[in-house]
Chain A
Amino acid sequence: MMVRKTQGRVDRRQFVAKLLDGMPEALVVTGLGSAAYDVFAAGDRDTNYYLWGAMGGAASIGLGLALAQPERPVVVITGDGEILMGVGSLGTIGARQPKNLTVVVLDNGHFGETGMQRSHTSMGTDLVAVAKGFGIDDSSSTASVDDCAAIARRVNSRKGPAFVQVFIEANEPPRALPPRDGPFIKNRFRAALGLKPF
């Protein structure tokens, strides 16, 4: 276990920043906690939707959004604990096969927000095997920022659902807190898509 911690893991902030840099048109949904901080730290965008709760819901929000906006790439950036809580949503994505949805899981093998308790991915769960088993054939893992450009191209291509597990270091970078005002981020997001208030 100690070997994995120092070898073959990437800095989360660096990875997310480089990944998002390659997908300026993507609609981004974040899971709660550190994934939201990473996306916000990479640069706030009107087309970022940050969660502060609804644990287990990020991938399903991404699915609803992807179905509603088939011409835009949609990427969900979340953590291992968050995807595990709603893991059936990968089955729902696998059943539906949205062309424009990618789920990126920043996996530090721990529940980072609550005291770094080990999660299932430190204790035997293989998320790529889970995603493939749910029918997301294009599922892979990485531990290098060198893969960011290729992942971004895959997101932008909208050629079927994809799943990426990113092995990240189990550290806690300085907090970068996105807005937690739900109506504000909703209205901002919808306005960026040209949608009017009801």
Chain B
Amino acid sequence: MVPKNSPAPAWQEAIFQVLKRGGIKQVAYVPDAGHSHAIRRVIADPEIDDVVLTTEEEGVALACGAWLGGQRAAVLMQSSGVGNCVNMFSLLQAADVPFFTIVTMRGEYAEFNPWQGPMGKATQAALELMGIHVLRVSSPAEVEEIVSAGLDAAFEAGERVAVLLGQNLIGRKKWERG
């Protein structure tokens, strides 16, 4: 875990750069620590609309609306949010729209909180059951390439893609208060 006030890891900046270069104009999110740098960068960028959601399934629908209107959207969420989206994922296939999400994983590696386990361990299978192609990142050096590959598959081939950022990439959550 990175101490507060230190610069974000380079891979977090790489994610923002991939979104920016990839022409993403709307970024919808339910916050997670692993996305915090990208969210800050998006909020500060006048060319990208940042949309904070009450639940992740709104982001699935928003991405569909963005595409209908000619824009590319990305949804940032934590693995627990994938469970909130399951029926709304139907929209992506029925409507035949591209979809790109980046998911920070919990419940799979050095997890402290048992409540994160059930959804975290089911996240990849839940996505795949709903017809979403899953790519996974486990080391900082892979982030830029794999996130970029996922974005291209979504918007160049019209696929529905989730990039999972492994918990081993994000690092152990620090639980001390203070």
- Number of residues from A at the complex interface, CB < 8 A: 37
A29 within 8 A of B: yes
Roughly how many angstroms separate A62 CA and B59 CA in the complex, as a whole number? 12
Q: How far is the CB of B22 from chain A (nearest CB, A)?
A: 13
Within 45-73 of A, Cβ neighbours of B (below 8 Å) are at 49, 51-69
**A182-B96, A186-B97 known; A68-B91 Cβ under 8 A:** no
A124 interface residue (CB < 8 Å to B): no
* A-side contacts of B64, CB under 8 Å: 54, 57, 61, 64
Across the interface, do A69 and B57 meet the contact criterion of CB distance under 8 Å? no
- Residues in B with CB closer than 8 Å to A198 are 98, 155-156, 158
Q: Are B90 and A89 in contact (CB under 8 A)?
A: no
A86 on the B face (CB < 8 A) = yes
CA separation between A198 and B65, bound complex, in Å?
Answer: 16
Are B91 and A69 within 8 A (Cβ)?
no
The residue of chain A having its C-beta at the shortest distance from the C-beta of B90 within the complex is A53
Q: A195 contacts the other chain (Cβ, under 8 Å)? A: yes
* Nearest A residue (CB) for B49: A67
Cα distance A49–B69 in the bound complex, in angstroms: 11
B103 at the interface (CB under 8 A from A): no
Most buried by A among B26, B63, B67: B67
- Asked whether A91 is an interface residue with its Cβ less than 8 Å from the other chain, the reply is yes
Report if A135 contacts B (CB, 8 A).
no
Cα–Cα distance between A89 and B28 once the two chains are bound (Å): 12
Tell me the bound Cα distance from A67 to B69 in angstroms. 8
Taking A68-B68, A86-B57, A92-B52 as contacts, is the C-beta distance between A186 and B91 under 8 angstroms?
no
Note all chain B residues with C-beta closer than 8 A to A56.
57, 61, 88
Residue A118 at the chain B interface, CB threshold 8 Å: no
Known: A53-B94, A198-B158. A60 touches B71 (CB 8 A): no
